[in-house]
Amino acid sequence: MTRIRVAAAGAAVVLTTAALLLGGAFRGSSAAAPAPPAGSADRLQAGFALGDTAGLVVSLQHQLESRPEDAKAWGLLGLAYQQRAREVADPSYYSKSEGALRRALRLAPNDLIATSGLASLAASRHRFREALKLSRQAHALSPTTALTYGLLGDAKLELGRYQQAFADFDRLAQLKPSLAAYSRVSYARELLGRPDEAIAAMEQALDAATGEAEPTAWTRVQLGKLYWSTGRLGAAAAQYRAALAVFPGYVHALDALAQVEGARGRFGHAIALERRAVDQTPLPQFVGYLGDLYTAAGRPALARRQHALVDVIGRLFVANGVKTDLETALFRADHGIRLRETLALARLARTERPSIDGDDVLAWTLERNGRCGEALRYSQLALRLGTKDALKLFHRGMIERCLGHTADGNRFLRRALALNPHFSLIWAPVAQRALR
């Protein structure tokens, strides 16, 4: 499962990983809300709304008008701004979050909420070296706080420090068995090529969601993606529909279900679902996939319009401090956009994020530029953990074939299709044709 999608939180990956706990849906009202309840910081840092996030922002702003020296309120406001970024895909909230969190630290230099909030913000912006530095500062302030181990592990994953990250996730699970812990353990197992064990951990995460709507919906989507990554479309779709049943209109479930419908060739239904996701939260990955659906449905003009919009949205993220090099390089390589320039971008991205995803994107961009000898080395690195990722296996197969290693290339293509015959709307058909 490829997780290098630009986050509206990115918060740390998932989906790049540091954004493991994406969530949130705009809940409307801008009227003042009551003071946030106990545990607000933990929930916001997990990536879930407390209710009406827009109202919470207004409430905190009013509170700070009369009490501008309240460091805790500034910290909560900074986290609430991050949640708004997740909910409406508006990266300008990241800049607002940074301002609020730094104001909190000026008032209370050792404030854990503000320090860990800045670590989450750095991860959301895909600035993982900065995220690691800030996570270490947060850990030093409170070595027994479970959250800091999640932040540390998220940043280390994106920097390719896998064994250290897995140790942090184990420590998190020991200190506080929870949705946050089990979902990270699940992702670690997925990276290590153990999908059934990853599913088992995500089922524990589902139990830990305790029936709350948004955490339950998020967890069901992640569980569905694990089924999707191993070709179990029916099981994946059932989880996505269950997510929508508990949290109607949940954008990540709409996007995921659109991919199932696209894989089944039901392009009209897939387009309708993806348009709902885009209209609510215009993330670049949603817009890009909508463009691919239009291409598959034989509507190239609409596809071009969506693909051009991806670039516009990407520039908005960059203007607000988000590093999108890796995601942009993959999108451009897939769509044949300015390939020589894209190769330079992929090299930079891999330097900043020396993970298996960084290796894979560079390998694929090299292949798309005809530099397959160099691509092979990075593709080998991308598969070094034993990850069962159909797209990475496909990339390796195409690189081998490019080098004239037809038998080896076909072996990787068959592995990709055996794992998930619908791994990519664009590339699965290419793999199928290559093997005829």
- For residue 115, being part of any structural domain is answered with yes
Q: What integer pLDDT is reported at residue 8 of this predicted model? A: 34
Peptide bond into 14 cis (omega under 30): yes
Chain-centre distance of CA 293, in angstroms? 21
**Three-class DSSP category at 126:** coil
Q: SS in 3 state form for 38-85?
A: CCHHHHHHHCCCCCCHHHHHHHHHHHHHHCCCCHHHHHHHHHHHHHHH
In whole angstroms, give the CA distance from residue 87 to residue 350: 28
- For residue 262, being part of any structural domain is answered with no
Given 144, 176, 208, the domain boundary residue is: 176
In whole angstroms, give the CA distance from residue 305 to residue 288: 10
Domain, as residue range, for 406: 324-436
- For residue 38, being part of any structural domain is answered with yes
- For residue 192, being part of any structural domain is answered with no
Between vectors from CA 278 to CA 240 and to CA 125, what angle results, nearest 5°?
A: 90
Longest dimension (CA), the chain: 72
Residue 435 corresponds to which tokens in the numbers above? 């093997």
CATH number at residue 31: 1.25.40.10
- For residue 274, being part of any structural domain is answered with no
Q: What is the pLDDT of residues 304-336, one digit of tens each?
A: 999 999 999 999 999 999 999 999 999 999 999
Q: What is the pLDDT of residues 68-106, one digit of tens each?
A: 999 999 999 999 999 999 888 899 999 999 999 999 999
- For residue 211, being part of any structural domain is answered with no
- For residue 305, being part of any structural domain is answered with no
- For residue 407, being part of any structural domain is answered with yes
Q: How confident is the model at residue 22 (pLDDT cuts 50, 70, 90)?
A: very low
Q: How confident is the model at residue 47 (pLDDT cuts 50, 70, 90)?
A: low
In whole angstroms, give the CA distance from residue 98 to residue 63: 19
Q: How confident is the model at residue 36 (pLDDT cuts 50, 70, 90)?
A: low
Q: What integer pLDDT is reported at residue 159 of this predicted model? A: 98
Given 159, 176, 193, the domain boundary residue is: 176
Given 153, 176, 199, the domain boundary residue is: 176
pTM (2 d.p.): 0.89
Q: What integer pLDDT is reported at residue 32 of this predicted model? A: 40
Domain total in the chain: 2
> Look-up: residue for tokens 């020589």?
340
The H or E element that residue 318 is part of is: helix 300-319
Dihedral angle sign, alpha carbons of residues 230, 235, 241, 243: negative
